[in-house]
Amino acid sequence: MRTQIGIVGAGPAGLLLSHLLHLQGIESVIVEARSRKYIEERIRAGVLEQGTVDMLVETGVGERLKREGLIHHGIELRFNRRGHRINMYELTGGKAITIYAQHEVVKDLVSARLAAGGQIFFEAGDVSVDGFSGTTPSICFAADGKPHELSCDFIAGCDGFHGVCRPSIPSGVLTAFDRTYPFAWLGILAQAPPSSHELVYAYHERGFALLSMRSPEISRLYVQCPPDEDIANWPDEKIWQELHTRLECVDGWRLAEGPIIQKGITGMRSFVVEPMQYGRLFLAGDSAHIVPPTGAKGLNLAAADIRVISRALGEYYASGKTQLLDSYSATCLRRVWKVQRFSWWMTSMLHRFSDDNPFDQRRQLAELDYVTSSRAASASLAENYVGLPMDWSVRPR
């Protein structure tokens, strides 16, 4: 088999890349380890930046997103049992975030690719990448009980943090920057109408809590927990009790409960590799970087990488110029590090650390007070939360 771009991974990064390439008349094939059903039901992120929404809508995969997505103009920071709204819409000159679950984005992209005749190999086994340090990259895998070799011009490693592409780069090429946090998030999906129209980020002496949502009927809620916590230690009643305590507010606000339909624990990590390219292999999304979810940036950062690589490949096939491809990593990393900074800052401001002391707690509360009372500080939070501007927009050729 032969194609122009071989893509490993059908997460948001790989699917979006294949879609944007198609709009520019560039062929690609996606090789995905899991089944279509699995990737379309995998519960992960749910907050889309303004730029991510605009990109999906502008490129023709935003119909359902426009219909079903919940547009939010603000978020609430809650501390000392009082809520403080950050009016992002006003502070950013009219930008917003949209609540639309990651697996819905995946469904929309899979169906757009298949409708356009795109090729996705699901449930591929023994995936390996080769030849990318020279001029003959290829992806080998097993599918439908047969071995396959896909020759291509370039490989996009969109296979997430645990994929094969990053580890296939020779040792000594990449430098990893890593930070693990001394806590995790216990997250639930509950069949309960969200108790707030907007996300509530709560700082509490017992630890962080977040009230989020996936739809008008489904709430997504999180509590900070120890990193090695066993979910078996958290029966449903204990989770609700903790959420009530940490989200409590003096104004009589009440948290609505409902049946818990899913629960799990997610570790918190900041991770970046530099550079994000080697030869004819380009890493994008979680394969190159991980952010703690506090800033709601993982999926959005993956989409930003894809915007850069799709434009660079578009220029290469249109003119033969490699300038944008050569600068792919440097272009992406400028944004990656700003997003890392923001995600780390939100995480540090809102969580209790195992070694913190009364000074640290007072400092965190002072920071929250400052962020919610200073227009300049609120504007900075809002600008980052709705998404820093991209350098250009995607235009189909």
Catalytic center residues: 72, 201, 293, 297, 385
Sequence-separated (6 or more) residues with CB below 8 Å from residue 228: none
387 binds ligand FAD, rule: CB under 6 A: no
The stretch near ligand FAD (CB under 6 A) out of 41-49, 64-72, 173-181, 384-392 is: 41-49
* Binding status of residue 221 toward ligand FAD by CB under 6 A: no
Binder among 156, 272, 296, 332 for ligand FAD (CB under 6 A): 296
Rule CB under 6 A: choose which of 164, 189, 239, 268 binds ligand FAD: 164
> From the CB of 243, what's the least distance to ligand FAD, in Å?
16
By CB under 6 A, the count of residues binding ligand FAD is 33
Dump the DSSP string for 157-203.
E---TT-SHHHHSPTTS-EEEEEEEEEEEEEEEESS--SSSS-EEE-
Q: Are 282 and 155 in contact (CB under 8 A)?
A: yes
Q: Which is nearer to ligand FAD, 72 or 321 (CB)?
A: 72
Residue 127 is a binding residue for ligand FAD (CB under 6 A): yes
Q: Are 386 and 339 in contact (CB under 8 A)?
A: no
Cβ 273 to ligand FAD shortest distance, Å:
13
Asked if 158 is part of the footprint of ligand FAD (rule: CB under 6 A), the reply reads yes
**Contacting ligand FAD (CB under 6 A), which of 9, 83, 157, 194?**
9
For position 215 contacting ligand FAD by CB under 6 A, the verdict is: no
> 41: exposed, middle or buried (C-beta count within 10 Å: 0-12, 13-18, 19+)?
exposed
Residue of 265, 189, 204, 270 whose CA lies nearest to 229: 265
With CB under 6 A as the contact rule, the residue among 6, 51, 69, 298 that binds ligand FAD is 298
Q: Which of 17, 21, 29, 45 binds ligand FAD (CB under 6 A)?
A: 45
Residue whose CB is less far from ligand FAD, 153 or 286: 286
b/e sequence 281-306, b meaning 16+ C-beta within 10 Å: bbbbbbbbbbbbbbbbbbbbbbbbbb
The yes or no reply on residue 62 touching ligand FAD (CB under 6 A) is no
CA distance 16 to 291: 20
Output the CA–CA distances (angstroms, integers) from residue 385 to 91, 260, 375, in the order listed: 11, 28, 15
Residues 242-271 interacting with ligand FAD (rule: CB under 6 A): 266
Q: Note whether 124 binds ligand FAD by CB under 6 A.
A: yes
In angstroms, give the least distance from the CB of 269 to ligand FAD: 10
Whether 45 contacts 293, CB under 8 Å: yes
Stretch that binds ligand FAD, among 153-161, 170-178, 347-355, 370-378 (CB under 6 A): 153-161
Is position 19 an interface residue for ligand FAD (rule: CB under 6 A)?
no
Closest C-alpha among 312, 339, 293, 371 to residue 51? 339
- Strand residues in the chain grouped as ranges (E): 5-8, 28-31, 47-48, 70-72, 74-79, 82-87, 97-99, 119-121, 125-130, 138-143, 146-151, 154-157, 175-190, 200-202, 209-213, 219-225, 260-274, 277-278, 281-283, 289-290
Q: How far is the CB of 319 from ligand FAD (least distance, A)?
A: 28
Using rule CB under 6 A, residue 293 touches ligand FAD: yes
Among 69, 163, 194, 314, the residue binding ligand FAD under the rule CB under 6 A is 163
Indicate which single residue of 32, 76, 198, 257 sits in contact with ligand FAD (rule: CB under 6 A). 32
Residue 351 binds ligand FAD (CB under 6 A) = no
Alpha carbon 72 to chain centroid, angstroms: 18
247 versus 284: smaller Cβ distance to ligand FAD: 284
The DSSP bridge pattern shows strands 82-87 and 74-79 to be: antiparallel
| Structure-block tokens of residue 369 | 């007070």
Q: Which one of the spans 4-12, 196-204, 315-323, 380-388 is the region binding ligand FAD (CB under 6 A)? A: 4-12
For residues 247 and 243, give the distance between their C-alpha atoms in angstroms, rounded to a whole number.
Answer: 6
Nearest CA-CA partner of 30 in 128, 116, 168, 150: 150
Q: How far apart are CB 331 and ligand FAD at their closest, in Å?
A: 17
Which residues within the stretch 88-117 sit at the binding site for ligand FAD (CB under 6 A)? Answer: 102
* Count of all residues that appear for the chain in the document: 397
Contact positions toward ligand FAD, by CB under 6 A? 8-14, 31-34, 39, 44-45, 47, 102, 124, 127, 158-160, 162-164, 266, 285-286, 293, 296-299, 302
